[in-house]
């Protein structure tokens, strides 16, 4: 299955996800063998209008493990010294001459779609605006669950943190709704709960869900605890006790032996580093999966059929 | 023909230009086949004292398509955390140990020549000062005309914009003067007209030219319309009506069917994007030629005979 | 001999240094032949919390000459746009998934050791804090002396400059103390003389040394004159005449015909460029050795036995 662009997680059907995951498994093996040179004649461009070294490194490493080359900027706003605010469309039409795929991080929602409309080479959306998409993060999250839990059907997944603007939680909830007998928990300070549009979507898809403001009664129930940050500046009561949302050794004792804790990273205080050595702490494996998933996505863009 | 350094467009004789264009045609074919690995043991260094992502990407892509490696900085002024204002000569003598060619963008006119005086590896001038040279831009412009018009003799070329400090227009006018029966038009607000030194040079070479302040009467005559920006802050009357210098669909209707519109990019309002799809809009092809010309130049620097 | 990490110059025993120098000699030959592709499946990451283009370029060139790939940032403090001050340990655990070695420049003394404690891939300390280590600089300095003087036993070496916080002088003095019949001179304005801890170490190792405040009487005696900067802001009397510490043609006339002048670069006024063409001016060769030594160190980290 050939992909043209990677713009939003919604574009992936279940068969596409399964092909992606199969390719991702292959990439794991390829990396273990030292990578491949198969894509040595491909150039990937990182066109970042905002710095995000983590995401940039993940894509660059993926491209190098495939044998390809990279050109990169994290200051695309200063793309030209002459004209501030050059049209994104012009930049894309120029840059597309210099590479075989463009990884775009743009400040405005819809930036990736505008780029794709004029680009002769694949556009990969690496985040467009705070309300926008970051589909490769959602895909690596889903792959991590698939890989750790061996299935995506019948899972109980709790999202914890400030979920209203939580791009990762929103996208992953959306993707999980494609699978059978999924149960979702949204655990957040009330004023930062998941937005109604996601809940409407879940109801439409007959996915059962529950809202709560403490992890306590859910720790023993979930297969996946997806932890995210709670910025204090987002809270009505900035002195609020946030410990019901934090994870430590005591929390882990209540969790199933085959459950996992995920986090998109970087973390702040919401996961105590003492649990890092517990096999259920899956967040560093999750970061590593970012490499394999991005390699797999690049091959799906590059392979001609 | 082996090149030692690329410092200024004047260094290129007509036979050298013809060899460059022949190599550039070869590079086009090589890129269409997915590039070459022939220069895999070469390292190119981008030493930029000012950011210019567009030029940097073009050179990096050229090097990667040749199979080579790149080391790069756009903040060479912060080259050392210890000493501000280290001598360019010292920097070049150190960096030249780490690469096989240095692409230098420097803030001061003559920077490239100073670098070349001490460098054991080729220096490519990628712009030195606002009054300085940017020879690879001039060469890709000339190649574009050659490639689109199939000849450089007998052409009518109009330069439009603020031409007095227009490095691209000045360099290209100089290069075109080497060819037969060329006719040049300089169309600019009076206070930004092309400088007398270029006109003196054209007279010496018996190149006919004309000055004007509107494109109107020239649109039907030219083979090439070379459009550049007019920064309002440069004008005596900042409310001046600049529409006589701008290009849109109506302008194009008056132009020959085999003429072309060029622009060094980025553009501002002087070219209406509605004409982008017209086959005569050559500016994105011009940007692409930057890749092929730079590849060709690199091979002329690297090849030992 | 396999290295796990490169954290401080003290970790190198004399046999390890000799193996390093032998490998360095091999790397010189490999570069003369155009490099190798042997490490094409390795990725090196430059994780710099402070810019240091010179050191970064040296490592990147080394990796490319070995056939490998590089991912790089000089703004690791902005590693995440979300959380300022992410734990170094977390960053390392994530980045180590994307590469086979991490070259770390960190702002805090001990940063490299903290990174090594959690990293599954080798950490190379490229400077950690002003009081910290920069072992690859010390190793390339020692190799340069070895290569130029053909031995490390029986040498007279003068260090000149502000030596108290001079990381290079301190580390090199330490390494030289491992060899036989070495004689060291420390020539500095009194308030910036080498610190007592180094002198204590030299006494413990029975290395003879002398302190002075002018190079004059030592020029004829030394095999190596290791010149460093004297920042005026460090001096009690900022109008002090520093010419007794500076090197020019007159100084060189007093030096042995087979002696050498070294400098970690960048230089300021302490070495007059007129001596650059004298064969005893070894500082640019020293910079070049940085490439070969770093290549050798990378192979010692990558080779499995």
Chain B residues in contact with A76 by the CB 8 A cut-off are 53
Q: What is the pLDDT of residue B81?
A: 55
Chain B residues in contact with C291 by the CB 8 A cut-off are 97-98
Q: Rounded to whole angstroms, how far apart are CA atoms C23 and C17? A: 10
C53/B40 touch (CB, cutoff 8 Å), yes or no: no
Catalytic residue among C5, C42, C134, C294: C134
Active site residue C84: yes
pLDDT category at C133 given cuts 50, 70, 90 is: confident
Q: Rounded to whole angstroms, how far apart are CA atoms A53 and C71? A: 10
Q: Which residue of A has its CA nearest to C41?
A: A34
Q: Which residue of A has its CA nearest to C88?
A: A266
- Token pair for C111: 């940063």
Query: Which residue reads 């200051």 in tokens?
Result: A75
Catalytic residue among A23, A42, A56, A105: A105
Q: What is the pLDDT of residue A76?
A: 86
Q: What is the pLDDT of residue B305?
A: 57
- Average pLDDT over chain C, rounded to an integer: 94
Q: Which residue of B has its CA nearest to A98?
A: B61
Q: Rounded to whole angstroms, how far apart are CA atoms C297 and A167? A: 43
Mean pLDDT of the C44-51 span: 94
- Token pair for A228: 């995210």
CATH code given to domain B9-134+289-302:
3.40.50.1370
B54/A94 touch (CB, cutoff 8 Å), yes or no: yes
Chain A residues in contact with C71 by the CB 8 A cut-off are 56-57, 60-61, 64, 70
* Ranges of CATH 3.40.50.1370 domains, chain A: 9-134+289-302, 135-286
Which residue in the set A40, A73, A83 is minimally distant from B53, CB to CB? A73
For the segment C68-119, what is each residue's pLDDT rounded down to a tens digit? 999 999 888 876 655 666 799 999 999 999 999 999 999 888 999 999 999 9
Chain B interface, best mutation among C265, C267, C282, C294, by max B CB count within 10 A: C265
Q: Rounded to whole angstroms, how far apart are CA atoms C192 and C206? A: 24
Q: What is the pLDDT of residue B76?
A: 86
Mean pLDDT of the C235-249 span: 95
Active site residue C299: no
Catalytic residue among C54, C205, C232, C256: C54
Q: Rounded to whole angstroms, how far apart are CA atoms C229 and C192? A: 11
Q: Rounded to whole angstroms, how far apart are CA atoms B50 and C294? A: 29
Q: Which residue of B has its CA nearest to C291?
A: B98
Q: Which residues contact A32 (CB under 8 A, 6 or more apart)?
A: none
- In angstroms, what separates the C-alpha of C102 from chain A's closest C-alpha? 12
pLDDT one digit per residue (tens) for chain B, 305 residues: 678 999 999 999 999 999 999 999 999 999 999 999 999 999 999 999 988 999 999 999 999 999 999 999 988 887 665 566 678 999 999 999 999 999 999 988 899 999 999 999 999 999 988 777 899 999 999 999 999 999 999 999 999 999 998 888 999 999 999 999 999 999 999 999 999 999 999 999 999 999 999 999 999 999 999 999 999 999 999 999 999 999 999 999 999 999 999 999 999 999 999 999 999 999 999 999 999 999 999 999 999 75
A268/C98 touch (CB, cutoff 8 Å), yes or no: no
- In angstroms, what separates the C-alpha of C182 from chain B's closest C-alpha? 29
For the segment A247-286, what is each residue's pLDDT rounded down to a tens digit? 999 999 999 999 999 999 999 999 999 999 999 999 999 9
Q: What is the pLDDT of residue A81?
A: 55
Q: What is the pLDDT of residue B132?
A: 75
How many other CB atoms sit within 10 Å of the CB of residue A203? 12
Active site residue B105: yes
Q: Rounded to whole angstroms, how far apart are CA atoms A255 and A272? A: 15
A57/C98 touch (CB, cutoff 8 Å), yes or no: yes
Using alpha carbons only, give the angle A38, A40, A41 rounded to the nearest 5 degrees.
115
Mean pLDDT of the A210-215 span: 96
Please say whether the beta carbons of C202 and C173 come within 8 A. yes
Name the pairing type of β-strands A208-212 and B224-227. unpaired
pTM of the complete model: 0.95
- In angstroms, what separates the C-alpha of A58 from chain B's closest C-alpha? 19
Mean pLDDT of the C248-263 span: 97
Q: What chains are in contact with A, requiring at least 3 Cβ pairs below 8 Å?
A: B, C
The 3-state DSSP composition of chain B as helix, strand, coil percent (nearest 5) reads 45, 15, 40
Q: Which residues contact C38 (CB under 8 A, 6 or more apart)?
A: C66, C67
Provide, rounded to the nearest whole percent, the portion of chain C with pLDDT above 90: 86
Please say whether the beta carbons of A225 and A158 come within 8 A. yes
Chain A interface, best mutation among C74, C78, C90, C99, by max A CB count within 10 A: C90
Name the pairing type of β-strands C43-48 and B208-212. unpaired
Chain B residues in contact with A45 by the CB 8 A cut-off are 57
Q: What is the pLDDT of residue C305?
A: 57
Would you say the C-alpha torsion C67, C68, C73, C74 has a positive or negative sign? negative
Residue C261 reports pLDDT greater than 90: yes
Q: What is the pLDDT of residue C167?
A: 86
Please say whether the beta carbons of C1 and C16 come within 8 A. yes
For the segment A24-70, what is each residue's pLDDT rounded down to a tens digit? 999 999 999 999 999 999 999 999 998 899 999 999 999 999 999 99
Using alpha carbons only, give the angle C219, C220, C226 rounded to the nearest 5 degrees.
40
Residue A193 DSSP one-character state: P
For the segment B240-262, what is each residue's pLDDT rounded down to a tens digit? 999 999 999 999 999 999 999 99
Reported ipTM: the value is: 0.94
Active site residue A2: no
Pick the CATH number of B135-286 from 3.20.20.80, 3.10.20.30, 3.30.70.1450, 3.40.50.1370: 3.40.50.1370
pLDDT category at C182 given cuts 50, 70, 90 is: very high
For the segment A140-161, what is each residue's pLDDT rounded down to a tens digit? 999 999 999 999 999 999 999 9
Interface of B with A (CB under 8 A): 34-35, 37, 50-54, 56-58, 60-61, 64-65, 70, 74, 229, 265-268, 273, 284, 287-288, 290-291
- In angstroms, what separates the C-alpha of C168 from chain A's closest C-alpha? 31
Please say whether the beta carbons of B158 and B192 come within 8 A. no
SS3 B170: helix
Phi, psi values for residue B105, rounded to 5°? -110, 115
How many other CB atoms sit within 10 Å of the CB of residue B278? 14
Smallest Cα–Cα separation from B297: which of B120, B66, B105?
Answer: B66
Catalytic residue among B105, B106, B167, B294: B105
Q: What is the pLDDT of residue B86?
A: 74
pLDDT category at C138 given cuts 50, 70, 90 is: very high
Q: How many Å is the maximal CA-CA distance in chain B?
A: 59
Smallest Cα–Cα separation from B166: which of B185, B194, B141, B138?
Answer: B194
Q: Rounded to whole angstroms, how far apart are CA atoms A156 and B3? A: 67
Residue C304 reports pLDDT greater than 80: no
pLDDT category at C207 given cuts 50, 70, 90 is: very high
Provide, rounded to the nearest whole percent, the portion of chain C with pLDDT above 70: 97
Which residue in the set B75, B81, B93 is minimally distant from C284, CB to CB? B93
């Amino acid at each position: 299955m050939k992909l043209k662009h990677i713009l939003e997680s919604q574009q992936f059907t279940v068969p596409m996800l399964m092909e992606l995951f199969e390719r991702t498994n292959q990439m794991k093996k390829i990396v273990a063998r030292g990578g491949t040179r198969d894509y040595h004649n491909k150039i990937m461009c990182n066109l970042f209008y905002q710095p995000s070294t983590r995401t940039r490194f993940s894509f660059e490493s993926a491209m190098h493990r495939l044998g390809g080359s990279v050109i990169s900027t994290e200051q695309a706003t200063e793309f030209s010294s002459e004209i501030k605010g050059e049209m994104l469309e012009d930049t894309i039409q120029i840059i597309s001459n210099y590479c075989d795929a463009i990884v775009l991080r743009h400040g405005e929602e819809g930036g990736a779609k505008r780029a794709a409309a004029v680009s002769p080479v694949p556009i990969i959306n690496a985040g467009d605006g705070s309300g926008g998409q970051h589909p490769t993060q959602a895909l690596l999250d889903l792959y991590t669950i698939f890989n750790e839990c061996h299935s995506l059907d019948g899972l109980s997944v709790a999202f914890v943190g400030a979920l209203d603007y939580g791009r990762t939680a929103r996208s992953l909830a959306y993707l999980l709704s494609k699978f059978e007998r999924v149960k979702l928990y949204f655990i957040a300070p009330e004023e930062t709960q998941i937005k109604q549009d996601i809940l409407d979507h879940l109801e439409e898809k007959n996915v059962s869900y529950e809202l709560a403001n403490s992890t306590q009664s859910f720790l023993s129930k979930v297969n996946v605890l997806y932890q995210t940050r709670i910025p204090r500046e987002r809270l009505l009561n900035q002195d609020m006790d946030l410990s019901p949302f934090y994870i430590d050794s005591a929390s882990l004792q209540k969790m199933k032996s085959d459950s996992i804790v995920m986090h998109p990273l970087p973390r702040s205080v919401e996961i105590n580093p003492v649990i890092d050595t517990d096999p259920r702490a899956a967040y560093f494996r999750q970061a590593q999966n970012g490499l394999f998933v991005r390699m797999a996505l690049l091959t799906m863009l590059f392979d001609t059929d």
